[in-house]
Amino acid sequence: MRNYRVTVFVVIVVFQCMCYLIGNASLWKAAIGASTKLHRKMLTGVMRSPLSFFDVTPSGRLLNRFGKDVDQLDIPLPTVMNMFLHLLFNGLGMIILVSANLTFYIFIAVLVVVAFTLLRQVYVKTFRQVSRLESVTRSPVNNHLAESVSGLSSIRCYNAESHFIRNCERAVDITQNCTLHGLLCKSWMQMRLEVLGDTLMLGMLLLVVFNRGIVDPGTAGLLASYSLSTIVAFNYLIYFSAEFEAGIVAAERIEEYSAVAPEAPWKCTSEPEQDWPGCGSVIFSGYYAKYRDNLDCVLKGIDLSIHSGEKIGVVGRTGAGKSSLSLSLFRIIEASKGHIFIDDLDISKIGLHDLRSRLTVIPQDPVLFEGSLRFNLDPTGQHQDDDIWLALEKAHLKNTFSDKGLDFQVQEGGTNMSVGQRQLVCLARAALRKSKVLVLDEATAAVDLETDGLIQDTIRRSFADCTIITIAHRLHTVMDSDRVVVMDAGKIVECGRPEDLLKDQTTLFFGLVQQPGLVRRRDTSEDGFSSCMH
């Protein structure tokens, strides 16, 4: 008989362990799968969101969603769910065990459980809102740190460390205030749970006393032990259930970014020809554009025809709409009215991938990624090494990297290269793509005179048959253009050959040339417009 009981006990223990392992494995697999899907969905939503989303969304908020909120789904939330289910079944089992020996215990337990539930509803409503506030107030801290690190040199230059420290402390105080209120909510709940637990324990002891002739001392001690364990289980059960609902806030916040209105379709059924654009003609027809629906148009009635292979310079004061013109070519901002045609094809009728992969832009701030030089020049791996070296030679970088090779490791942001070298790498990347339409968005604004000369020389030699649109702040970069487009307040106010515009002293272009700092003279004979200024 004794061996039989031991065998039954062992079987029960083994069965319990197997159920526990299978349940845990299933729970964690489902939780990790759900977290992965939510993260991928949010990442896709953010990556496909329009430029207006990033205009109004601080980087700290993005870091908070992809950092703390995703971490909440990965580990704390499944752990809380696992503990909740474990304690729920344990608590119910112990109540059933005690009730089997003390029948009236079930009535006391039901009353206490109802009280637990009502108390939990009050607690969760408050704690969930406090948790949401804590998550929201954490974003300004992340955003402040990111901005401080990126602008550290300017902060030190203007001796503004104390100002930024005060702002950081203020942001930390706000989020810590929410954390403190969360802890106070837990303390409030804990005190009341202890009272309810003591009530349940008292009820069990009174039942034992009134049934002392039925319940032997050994059984009474066992019931007291199980009753105490039940109290502990239900205390943690309420705590973990509240933590679980608070953790759901992270899922809600992730789902919010998953539902961001996306850009236009990446791919469309109507695809352009393989060699599009073959000529590179660009036509703006009655074009209006704005960054967001609630803002005014930044481009107003643009009518401009650019012929194949023509070199166009776009100039104007700050805020005139120069960069907006280049953004509209890539449909980073969409048209509110009008059309853009490239080789007689309306770019609004094709997918964004087909459009952006066929055009080339060299921005003012060169973009390099951590990885090999080969990867930065040819990220899709479509070109041979000989073609890459030829592009480097065109950009005057072959001698620089001949000893290092194409496997030279570029650090994040190209920090192990000078600003001029980074810009020349971007120029080599453009030369490698052999696009018929090239956009230079103030590409030489941050480089020295020597690098500027190299860039201009490369553009003249390597992109002679391309249509080039140069967004310029320094006017010397557009003086050899076929035409200059002068913009003001989102409109084209002047258009013509630079020498013709300079002959008329009433033109806005002539006034821009007269402003100090906008013209960098290399040599009077090279510029060819010095005489027109005097």
Question: 391 with 463: CB under 8 angstroms?
Answer: no
H-only helix segments in 211-315: 217-258
- Per DSSP, the residues of 63-125 read HHIIIIIHHHHHTHHHHHHHHHHHHHHHHHHHHHHHHHH-TTHHHHHHHHHHHHHHHHHHHHH
Sheet holding 360-362, edge to edge: 360-362, 437-441, 467-471, 311-316, 483-488, 491-496
Q: Which whole-number Å values give the CA distances from 533 to 122, 317, 477, in the listed order? A: 78, 19, 16
Question: 484 with 475: CB under 8 angstroms?
Answer: no
Q: Which whole-number Å values give the CA distances from 440 to 248, 318, 427, 498, in the listed order? A: 47, 17, 10, 18
Rounded Cα distance between 306 and 303, Å, is 10
Question: What is the pLDDT at residue 528?
Answer: 43
- The structure tokens 């073609």 sit at 387
According to DSSP, residue 349 is labeled: G
According to DSSP, residue 234 is labeled: H
Question: 285 with 303: CB under 8 angstroms?
Answer: yes
- Residue 371 gets the label, from left (phi > 0), alpha (psi -120 to 50) or beta, of left
Q: What is the pLDDT along the chain (534 residues), one digit of tens a residue?
A: 567 777 877 888 888 888 888 888 888 888 888 889 999 999 998 988 887 788 788 877 888 888 888 888 888 888 888 888 888 887 788 778 777 777 777 777 788 788 888 888 888 888 888 888 887 888 888 888 888 888 888 888 888 889 999 999 999 999 999 889 988 988 888 888 888 878 877 877 787 777 776 666 777 777 777 777 777 777 788 778 877 877 788 888 888 888 888 888 888 877 888 888 888 899 999 999 988 888 888 899 899 999 988 999 998 888 888 888 888 998 888 888 999 999 889 998 888 888 888 888 888 778 888 889 899 888 888 888 889 999 888 888 888 888 888 889 988 888 888 888 888 888 888 888 888 898 888 766 666 677 777 777 888 888 888 898 988 877 777 888 889 999 988 899 989 898 888 888 888 888 888 765 444 444 433 444 444 444
Cα–Cα nearest to 106, from 114, 96, 115: 96
Q: How far is CA 487 from the centre of its chain?
A: 33
Question: What is the pLDDT at residue 2?
Answer: 63
Q: Residues 132, 238, 221, CA angle at the centre, nearest 5°?
A: 160
Question: Which tokens is 276 given?
Answer: 């599009």
- Residue 315 gets the label, from left (phi > 0), alpha (psi -120 to 50) or beta, of beta
Question: What is the pLDDT at residue 443?
Answer: 66
Question: β-pairing, 282-289 with 299-306?
Answer: antiparallel
Q: Mutual orientation of helices 161-210 and 105-150 as an angle, nearest 10°? A: 170
Rounded Cα distance between 281 and 343, Å, is 5
Cα–Cα nearest to 317, from 471, 173, 177: 471
Question: 399 with 476: CB under 8 angstroms?
Answer: no
Sheet holding 345-346, edge to edge: 299-306, 282-289, 335-342, 345-346
- Per DSSP, the residues of 436-449 read SEEEEESTTTTS-H
- Based on the number of CB atoms within 10 Å of its own CB, is 222 exposed (0-12), middle (13-18) or buried (19 or more)? middle
Give me the residues paired with residue 316 across strands: 487
Instruction: Give 135's Cβ-side CA count (13 Å radius).
Output: 25
Rounded Cα distance between 365 and 288, Å, is 26
Rounded Cα distance between 321 and 195, Å, is 68
According to DSSP, residue 529 is labeled: -
For the question of whether the overall pTM of this predicted structure is more than 0.75, the answer is: no
Q: Which whole-number Å values give the CA distances from 516 to 96, 445, 447, in the listed order? A: 88, 15, 18
Question: What is the pLDDT at residue 531?
Answer: 41
Question: 307 with 281: CB under 8 angstroms?
Answer: yes
DSSP helix/strand/coil, 482: coil
Q: Which whole-number Å values give the CA distances from 361 to 235, 306, 428, 456, in the listed order? A: 61, 17, 12, 15
Domains of the chain (ranges; CATH) run 2-256 (1.20.1560.10)
